[in-house]
Structure 1
Amino acid sequence: MHSTSILGFFGGLLLSLPTAYAGFSSSSSTNVAVYWGQNSYGQGTGSLAQQRLSYYCANSDFNIIPLAFLITIADPSLNFANAGNNCTAISGSNLFSCPQLEEDIATCQSTYGKTILLSVGGSTYTEGGFSTSAAAVSAATNIWSIFGPNTGANVPRPFGDSVIDGFDFDFESTVSNMPAFANQLRSLMTTSTASTGKQYLLTAAPQCPYPDSADNPMLAGTVSFDAIWVQFYNNYCGLNSYVSGTTTQNNFNFATWDNWAKTVSLNPNVKVFLGIPGNTGAAGSGYESGSTLASIIAYSKTFSSFGGVMIWDMSQVYANSGFLASVASDLGQAAATTTTGTVVKTTTTATTLSTVTTKSSTTTTTSSAVSTTTGTVNQWNQCGGEGWTGGTVCVAPYVCTYLSVWYSQCE
């Protein structure tokens, strides 16, 4: 009995201190998360096509990588676009064995100190959650056995002995009984930490309109998140609605999310990230760069909950030379000094000739075809694969060529 009291005291003390989870630091405002897995820039070959995970990990401009996506939960399946070419089917399941990714996760964690999360959802997620909370708990236990520490259980393990650093939730439509799923994962992670010392994260990626329609049941003080990365694009409250030089914003609502962190969040120390597109084609609206983005970051840093920047996605930002380095540099600058007052800024939703990928206007990140004005898909771009909802007809004379169950491209 006395031991339990002492452990409880020190446990409470530890919870009150800033915690470092591999690359992520809860005491830092310079964290950068970049999604990997969807090859959203759309190139099938060459340096601008999505590369293996370890290709990016030596870059010190970011420290967190959510792997996108686990697209079904009840009967688990993954979609990592062209990275699936290096995986083989696991008999009796919808999962694949990915030894290259197993190796890369371990390398990114141990050699480069990256936090590697598995993002659940994406725009092709259609299960709608769970029929009961008991079903949600059971599913979470199964997901943990597949992606958590290897206990020798007879389950498929796409990442082999490698263990991710936690889970990210990225839903774009209403899901049922998700708090029960998230809390069971949190409980399993906490138990594992107690025995191994390895820390785990739980994060979410809501859209900027508050409250977020898809994630609100989890965000309404029911689930303890370590961080959320709010998608400030494809909405009226996106980066393009920010007005420089004033503390009172009419539409850009980082202040609203800061208030959520302090008054609603189950974890009062949760960090709020500024979610941004990594390139002009990474979102339908909301891409900003240069001094405008620097000003937005400086403003966001004035809020105590600010934890850094999230970028969608790796292939987009690597095709946008200098952008990632400029974000890292902007995060190192001092917070903004602004004046008081309300300025109304009228914005027009931007359109692009072809939307490569978006975290959709309702909640998440995923890819759509890189198409021409006729709706056909250009050479080297994705035209098929499990969960693919974009274009499937290639520009002549190219044909949609099967490369793996996850990925086909126009060749």
Structure 2
Amino acid sequence: MSDPDIDIIPIAFLNGLAPPLVNFANAGDNCTTFPEGPSLLDCPQIEEDIKTCQAKGKTIVLSMGGATYSGGGFQSADAAVDAARTLWATFGPEQPGSNALRPFGSAVIDGFDYDFESATSNMVSFGQELRRLMEDATASGDKRFYITAAPQCPYPDQANGEALAGGVSFDFIMIQFYNNYCGVQSFVPGAAQQYNFNMETWDAWAASTSLNPDVKILLGIPANTGAGAGYTEGEALASVIQYSKQYASFGGVMMWDMSQLYANEGFLGEVVNALG
């Protein structure tokens, strides 16, 4: 992945938290299972892909949850903390003496993404422990790590609400402005007030509710007609992006997903041109 117009690549999904379970769709075709842990995939090709992309300056985050996740989070705060430590040993920096199985081998991801689409419990304790582990690693000389989220656009988000309501410090959030009434398709060009498209509401969240006052918001859009309801292109999309750029928290555009994007020739260029 050498495309200079792409900065962040979320890998989807970690769809089980305790114990860790992964489903990478067809990207998992070259993975095998660990003999000592047959529920977890060993993915040397993805390991090499991560290293290649990071060498080209790309940020790689692992998305947790997804539409098929039904675990509900954790039964207690202690269980959430334990799970955070396990995931850190599994996907974070290699730890001397650890016997954790590592799907990506020696590759180290740059962070974790909250992409839960149903109610979850104790995710604040989980995120706070992840943040502590990340900051300790960075203070010891490692790279910077990120915690991100991909809430749906209705506010407040029902699945990640407690974490987003000041419980967890997020570095950036990639809001899904699709499959909902508040998606990009609801934007009215030239209107003095937007009644459905709610970037203004999320910018207010960033300024007044987010634990991290410097959090950035990415405008999440479908990358093709088959990627989600509300696909928008051309001048209509350019208008949405131009409008969103007025907000201090705006940080760019997220597209779902990579396969849909590359099947839609020229779309990435449209987005980049609109971003200016």
Counterpart contact for 1:233–1:286, Cα < 8 Å = yes
Match of 2:128? 183
Q: Report runs of 4+ in structure 1 exceeding 2 Å deviation.
A: none
Q: Quick one: which of 81, 101, 109 aligns to 1:137?
A: 81
Residues 71 and 79 of structure 1 are in contact (CA less than 8 Å); yes or no, is this contact kept in structure 2? yes
CA distance in 2, matches of 1:179, 1:247: 37
Residue 64 of structure 2 corresponds to residue 102 of structure 1: no
Provide the C-alpha distance between the structure 1 equivalents of 2:35 and 2:223, rounded to a whole number of angstroms: 37
Conserved 8 A contact 1:62-1:328: no
Question: What SS does the corresponding residue of 2:140 show, helix, strand or coil?
Answer: helix
Q: In the alignment, what sits opposite 1:21?
A: none
Aligned 8 A contact 1:101 1:159 in 2: yes
Kindly provide the CA deviation profile for residues 64-114 of structure 1, in whole angstroms up to 9, marking residues without a partner as x. Answer: 00000001010111111112121111123211211111111111001x100
How far apart, in 2, do the equivalents of 1:265 and 1:123 lie?
A: 24
Q: TM-score, normalised by structure 1?
A: 0.66
Q: How does 1:259-274 map to 2 (within 5 A)?
A: 259-274=204-219
1:164 aligns with 2:109: yes
> Structure 2 CA distance, aligned partners of 1:316 and 1:264?
33
Deviations 1:129-178 (A, max 9, x none): 00000000000000000000111311100111110000001011000000
Is the partner of 1:199 in helix, strand or coil? Answer: coil
Aligned residue identity for 1:195: S
1:115 aligns to what?
A: 59
| Bigger Cα displacement from structure 2, 255-264 vs 144-153 | 144-153
User: Where do 1:26-175 residues align within 5 Å?
Assistant: 57-93=1-37, 94-110=39-55, 112-152=56-96, 153-175=98-120
Deviation for aligned residue 1:247:
4.1
- Letter paired with 2:232: E
Q: How far apart are the structure 1 equivalents of 2:248 and 2:26?
A: 39
1:213 aligns with 2:161: no
CA RMSD of aligned residues (A): 0.8
Distance in 1 of aligned mates of 2:62 and 2:113:
6
Distance in structure 1 (CA, Å) of the matches to 2:254 and 2:156: 19
Structure number having the greater helix percentage = 2
The code of the aligned residue for 1:325 comes to G
Letter in 1 for 2:121: S
Structure whose CA Rg is larger: 1
Q: Percent of counterpart pairs with the same letter? A: 59
Match of 1:7 in 2: none
Q: 2 CA distance for matches of 1:327 and 1:211?
A: 27
Q: Which sections of structure 2, spanning at least 5 residues, go unmatched?
A: none
- Which position in structure 2 is the counterpart of 1:195? 140
Alignment match, 1:50: none
Match of 1:301 in 2: 245
Q: Which of 202, 226, 229 does residue 281 from structure 1 map onto?
A: 226
Structure 2 distance, partners of 1:104, 1:275, is: 24
Match of 2:198 in 1: 253
Which deviates further from its counterpart, 251-260 or 323-332?
323-332
State the secondary structure of the residue aligned to 1:243.
Answer: coil
Distance in 2 (CA, whole Å) between partners of 1:106 and 1:256 is 37
CA distance in 2, matches of 1:104, 1:209: 34
2:167 partner SS = coil
Instruction: Answer whether contact 1:119 1:170 (CA < 8 A) is retained.
Output: yes
Aligned twin of 1:229: 174
Contact conserved, 1:86 with 1:100, CA < 8 A, in 2?
yes
Task: From the superposition, tell whether residues 154 and 197 of structure 1 become closer, same or farther in structure 2 (CA, over 3 Å).
Answer: closer
Tell which deviates more after alignment, 315-324 or 86-95.
Answer: 86-95
For residues 101 and 75 of structure 1, the distance between their equivalents in structure 2, rounded to whole angstroms, comes to 20
Q: Which residue of 2 aligns with 1:316?
A: 260
Deviations along 1:354-377, one digit per CA (max 9) or x if unpaired, are: xxxxxxxxxxxxxxxxxxxxxxxx
Which secondary structure does the structure 1 equivalent of 2:193 belong to? strand
Q: Which residue of 2 aligns with 1:54?
A: none
Q: Distance in 2 between matches of 1:247 and 1:259?
A: 17
Query: SS in structure 1 opposite 2:102?
Result: coil
Alpha-carbon distance in 2 for matches of 1:255, 1:185: 29
* DSSP-derived class of the 1:207 partner: coil
Q: CA deviation at 1:246?
A: 2.8
